[in-house]
Structure 1
Amino acid sequence: MMPFSMTENLKYQEELIHAWKETFRGIQPLPYPELIETHVSWVLLTKENAYKVKKALKLDFLDFSDLASRRFYCEEEIRLNKRTAPDIYQRVVSLGGSLSAPHINAEPVFEYAVEMKRFSRENEMAHMLEDGRLQALHIDSLAEKIAYFHESLPSITGGVAGMAYGTYDFLLHGLENNYSELGTIFSGSDLMPEREKLDALEALHFAVLEERKETIEKRHRDGFVRECHGDLHMGNIVFIDDEAILFDSIEFSPDFRCVDVICDLAFAFTDLHYFGRADYAWQLLNRYLEETGDYEGAALVDVFGASHALVRAKVAAIRYRQLTDDAQQAASLKESRRYMALAREMLEDRNAGLLITCGLPGAGKSVFSRAALGTIQAIRIRSDIERKRHYGFRSLQSSAGGKINIYSETASEITYGLLEKLADTLLDAGFRVIVDAAFLKKAERERFRHLAADRSVPFVIAMITASPETLLRRVTTRQMQRNDPSEAGPDVLAKKQAQFEPLSSEELSCTIEIVNEDGHDFMSDESGWKHLNQMLLAP
């Protein structure tokens, strides 16, 4: 029998793992079993399953040093990941019998492992982006999955060292540690330019964090700090039948997973920016906000995104110091610099501006605004969605038969008031904002023009047009399919056509017209998008 103390020693652990691997030979087709080693675990791969064994380590951020702790954290890994990937995470298994021929669930117990169902790594988000298979439908699926996950979680109030998770003090402490550690790495004379850039980034980061302090504390009080995933980068997201699955949640420390929900979302938001798909990053953020209505939280995506980028910069810098190969060193240093540059980009002013749509039902206002949000990097507020949210309906749920006519003049006035309030909140946070609504009346448009003037930001009207025949065809088809939040059919179209108040000459001076008709591909019109961007940069 192997003494219990042997499992606390990496040498004996490694012998056990290799012996376990040998027990699979002859009963698994080649090339299985495979053994993969990471910094903190071994993963044994069979054809159908994967078994993760935690190394007997005690580090600053984790403690797997004894068998009891490894069993506990295996159970935590199952508990946490069952929330988002129940078909992948199966159970905790024991490993025992004899050191030379260990088996699952044999006695005495030497070790514990997490049993998982295997999936194709080719379908991990990072791989799909790299080889061009990642599409808009995957981003929508991811946003919806994260939103559903976050909304299922209760708020938490715990913390460490007298600091509650997700508070300003907790975030400040973590940020100070990361800058201190990275500053130490950049302390050598060979990295003085990097140290100077780091010092400037640090000052900016702390300044923006201070600006967001009130929002951070309010969100903590309002329950937006929850036991989230904690490491939701693209390597921990897989698509199975085009559905996003979130896996490998942080089990070893609640410090990393007990965060504001926007902090959790910001991992993938940051990754998409870094790998050149800012359009997908903004699509992800927008779809998430539409699902949750958490527009207030958007103000923190810059702080959290920059913090994630800073950690990546630190990891790359550590690797730079550890490597000896010149080419590998250069690559690691370049990566660290790029992440620092991304952090700064996220924290700098966003050139706030306000864009409203104007058009009849079926003109394609939402098609345009969806395309625009990634191109001009904006947050969109859709009247169809916010109207239904306010009156207690889901976005695709019909309001017919409800106690209140949510399309009455009074309801519409309330809806425009909600849109104005949300737009003001987002403009205050420095965002470009798209308000996707009909804006058929001049008074409605003037209301938002005054908002832009009060905020001293550019104001643009996007006039979306299509022929009467096209409008009728589109609303008729949409009403039959019931796959859009808008409920406007032919009767509503006729009513709105009669209500439309043409734009004045003053309004036309800040208007861009989009013809959304067959044969007019506005989404591929680079000059048109460039012109729109220039209008939003105007004083």
Structure 2
Amino acid sequence: MTVHVVADQGEVLEFLGNPETHAVSEPVKRIDTHGAVVFLAGRDAYKVKRAVRFPFMDFSTIEKRKLACERELEINCANAPGIYLDIRSITRSKTGLEFGGKGKVVEWAVHMRRFDEDATLDRLAKREGLSKLLIADLAHVVLWSHERAARKNFDAAGALDRYILENAETFAESPDLFSAERIRRVTASSRTALAGNRGLLVARQRAGHVRRCHGDLHLRNIVLIAGKPILFDALEFDEAMATGDILYDLAFLVMDLLERGFRQAANALLNHYLWESGNEAHLAGLALLPLFLSVRAAIRAKVVAASLPYLDDRARKEAARDAERYFSLAEQFLIPSAARLVAIGGLSGTGKTTIAEELAPRIGRMPGAIHLRSDIERKQMFGAAETQRLPQTAYGPSATAEIYARLRRKAKLALEAGASTICDAVHATPDERACIESVAQDLAIRFDGIWLEAPLGLRIGRVEGRRDDASDADANYVRKQSTVDVGALSWRRLDASEMPPRIVADALAMLGEPQELAERAEAPP
């Protein structure tokens, strides 16, 4: 990795690291990255750009560093107004350096409100995992940021091609980390995937899905404040790198979750994003996801490798392992995987959604299957919030027929994009079951139908215990539904009276899928 340090910032870094500068008694904490140094002092944080020039980042002049500080403030205020405050000049006086003096400006710093470092999602995930509610909130926040992001007339396909080639060139500078054969293989696979999807990328740009996004969306750049996830530290030094398909922006976060071993959270994040957006174009856009994930992992490998010169021996060895693991993940994302359709049926309270959520991360290519849920589709069709109860008219025959038609249409889009899909609905009639099977038959892919069964009393207890759920079923509905004749069943029956782990294990055995989720990717020997 070619790195050019173009100026000595030692005096500035010493100034910012001095407690007297900030009128605090406790030591100032310093955090080093390849492109910046952050100082935490009391209730404040100051971030200066390193005077460096990389192939992908140029902070070589004070003018460029000032511009980067201004841009960082501007682009982050939308997502994190409570964190980003202003930029400060560091000037020279007769007695030394000071903030905002009348002397010559020697450096610029972004001034931020300090937050609890242990509240960043990378630390939170390592310490206690990521709850379903937090992942749902995170999907909402990311989608909100995408919906308000500026649309751009930008050649996203051309940019990806450049990233792939730049990655290959940079990897070649570190033969001790990345072998020539692996570089050649991942580059060729990436360019093949891009060539096959260039038309889709162009169509998505014309439809407005290419925008100025966060650009650096991973767990370390998300913090939990007052119980809500806040996106910060958006990419500021290169507008082109921060501009792209919104699914490419989302892919960074999905990739980061997968790399850390949180496949279930990665799958839930993607599905919640798709549910909340309600945009069927994103289902077709899933054809791009393997490429997006691979490029994101490759770029992360490159960036981690760039940090090696700034680390001590122990940290350098760990970072080298991280870079190798990211590279391995980039390879794995491009391995073809046949799509399959799984339909889960059963009366209310049999646990269809619970089982579907557990199965989804284990089926198909990373991060797992797309989960289509009739309860979510119904709420969307009637313009209701996920947990808002609908009137009885929303459950009439015509509405239900439309819901199943929507499920089939969306399943077809996802499957055509190469994404395995789980369709979670009652499927109470032979016609409903035959129609979802026909989706797989028309696409010549594997279909599996699973019918969950449980005693009436257990099903009533389950629906009565639901909280904040999209299903409107109650005990009376469950009793009434029990009188319905579901007709002849060709789907495999599964006893759903057991605890969820047992049911999931039985379902996986039926589907021929591994019982355990894959651990985080490891580099081959």
Bin the TM-score by the shorter chain: 0.7 to 0.9
CA-to-aligned-CA distance 1:214-267 (integer Å, 9 cap, x gap): 321111111111111101122212223442221110011111211111111111
Deviation for aligned residue 1:65: 4.2
CA-to-aligned-CA distance 1:374-426 (integer Å, 9 cap, x gap): 2332110111212222333332334439xxx4322222222211111111111
Matched, 1:513 2:494: yes
Which residue of structure 2 lines up, in the alignment, with residue 3 of structure 1? none
Which residue of structure 2 lines up, in the alignment, with residue 160 of structure 1? none
Which residue of structure 1 lines up, in the alignment, with residue 118 of structure 2? 122
CA-to-aligned-CA distance 1:287-321 (integer Å, 9 cap, x gap): 21112123233332211110011123334556789
User: Percent same amino acid among aligned pairs?
Assistant: 29
Question: Residues 360 and 106 from structure 1, CA distance in 2 versus in 1: closer, same or farther, beyond 3 angstroms?
Answer: same
Q: Counterparts of 2:120 and 2:38 in 1: how far apart (Å)?
A: 17
Which residue of structure 1 lines up, in the alignment, with residue 212 of structure 2? 227
Q: Does structure 2 conserve the Cα–Cα contact (< 8 Å) formed by 1:44 and 1:50?
A: yes
- Counting only pairs closer than 5 Å after superposition, residues 258-269 of structure 1 correspond to structure 2 as 258-269=243-254
SS at match of 1:126: helix
Q: Which of 386, 400, 407 is residue 419 of structure 1 equivalent to? A: 407
Q: Counterparts of 1:45 and 1:234 in 2: how far apart (Å)?
A: 20
Q: Counterparts of 1:226 and 1:138 in 2: how far apart (Å)?
A: 25
Unaligned runs of 5+ in 1: 1-7, 158-163
Q: Does structure 2 conserve the Cα–Cα contact (< 8 Å) formed by 1:141 and 1:244?
A: yes
**Structure 2 letter corresponding to 1:366:** T
Q: Which of 446, 449, 452 is residue 437 of structure 2 equivalent to? A: 449
Matched, 1:278 2:259: no
Q: Which of 4, 7, 10 is residue 7 of structure 2 equivalent to? A: 10
SS at match of 2:223: strand
Q: Does structure 2 conserve the Cα–Cα contact (< 8 Å) formed by 1:282 and 1:373?
A: yes
SS at match of 2:23: coil
- Counting only pairs closer than 5 Å after superposition, residues 201-216 of structure 1 correspond to structure 2 as 201-216=186-201
Moved more, 437-446 or 104-113: 104-113
Question: Residues 109 and 484 from structure 1, CA distance in 2 versus in 1: closer, same or farther, beyond 3 angstroms?
Answer: farther
CA-to-aligned-CA distance 1:78-134 (integer Å, 9 cap, x gap): 121112222111222233361634433332461432111112222222223333443
Which residue of structure 1 lines up, in the alignment, with residue 512 of structure 2? 534
Q: Does structure 2 conserve the Cα–Cα contact (< 8 Å) formed by 1:20 and 1:102?
A: no
**Structure 2 letter corresponding to 1:218:** A
Deviation for aligned residue 1:529: 4.6
- Counting only pairs closer than 5 Å after superposition, residues 69-468 of structure 1 correspond to structure 2 as 69-96=64-91, 98=93, 100-108=95-103, 110=105, 111-157=107-153, 164-166=154-156, 168-186=157-175, 194-293=179-278, 294-315=282-303, 334-376=321-363, 377-400=368-391, 405-468=393-456
Q: Does structure 2 conserve the Cα–Cα contact (< 8 Å) formed by 1:78 and 1:89?
A: yes
Question: Residues 369 and 185 from structure 1, CA distance in 2 versus in 1: closer, same or farther, beyond 3 angstroms?
Answer: same
Q: Counterparts of 2:167 and 2:286 in 1: how far apart (Å)?
A: 23
SS at match of 1:10: coil
Q: Does structure 2 conserve the Cα–Cα contact (< 8 Å) formed by 1:201 and 1:344?
A: yes
Q: Counterparts of 1:236 and 1:416 in 2: how far apart (Å)?
A: 39
**Structure 1 letter corresponding to 2:242:** R
Question: Residues 118 and 503 from structure 1, CA distance in 2 versus in 1: closer, same or farther, beyond 3 angstroms?
Answer: farther
Q: Does structure 2 conserve the Cα–Cα contact (< 8 Å) formed by 1:185 and 1:318?
A: no
Q: Does structure 2 conserve the Cα–Cα contact (< 8 Å) formed by 1:23 and 1:101?
A: no
**Structure 1 letter corresponding to 2:70:** E
Question: Residues 290 and 181 from structure 1, CA distance in 2 versus in 1: closer, same or farther, beyond 3 angstroms?
Answer: same
Q: Does structure 2 conserve the Cα–Cα contact (< 8 Å) formed by 1:388 and 1:394?
A: yes
Which residue of structure 1 lines up, in the alignment, with residue 457 of structure 2? 469
Which residue of structure 2 lines up, in the alignment, with residue 161 of structure 1? none
Moved more, 416-425 or 48-57: 48-57
Moved more, 89-98 or 379-388: 89-98
Question: Residues 109 and 136 from structure 1, CA distance in 2 versus in 1: closer, same or farther, beyond 3 angstroms?
Answer: farther
Deviation for aligned residue 1:45: 1.9
Unaligned runs of 5+ in 2: 516-525
CA-to-aligned-CA distance 1:442-474 (integer Å, 9 cap, x gap): 101101112112222222222223322333344
Q: Counterparts of 2:164 and 2:226 in 1: how far apart (Å)?
A: 38
Q: Does structure 2 conserve the Cα–Cα contact (< 8 Å) formed by 1:198 and 1:340?
A: no
Measured on the aligned residues, the alpha-carbon RMSD in Å equals: 3.1
Give aligned pairs, total: 503
Q: Counterparts of 1:529 and 1:124 in 2: how far apart (Å)?
A: 36
Deviation for aligned residue 1:67: 4.1
Q: Counterparts of 1:222 and 1:138 in 2: how far apart (Å)?
A: 30
SS at match of 2:394: coil
SS at match of 1:131: helix
Q: Counterparts of 2:6 and 2:305 in 1: how far apart (Å)?
A: 30
Q: Counterparts of 1:14 and 1:333 in 2: how far apart (Å)?
A: 26
Deviation for aligned residue 1:513: 0.9
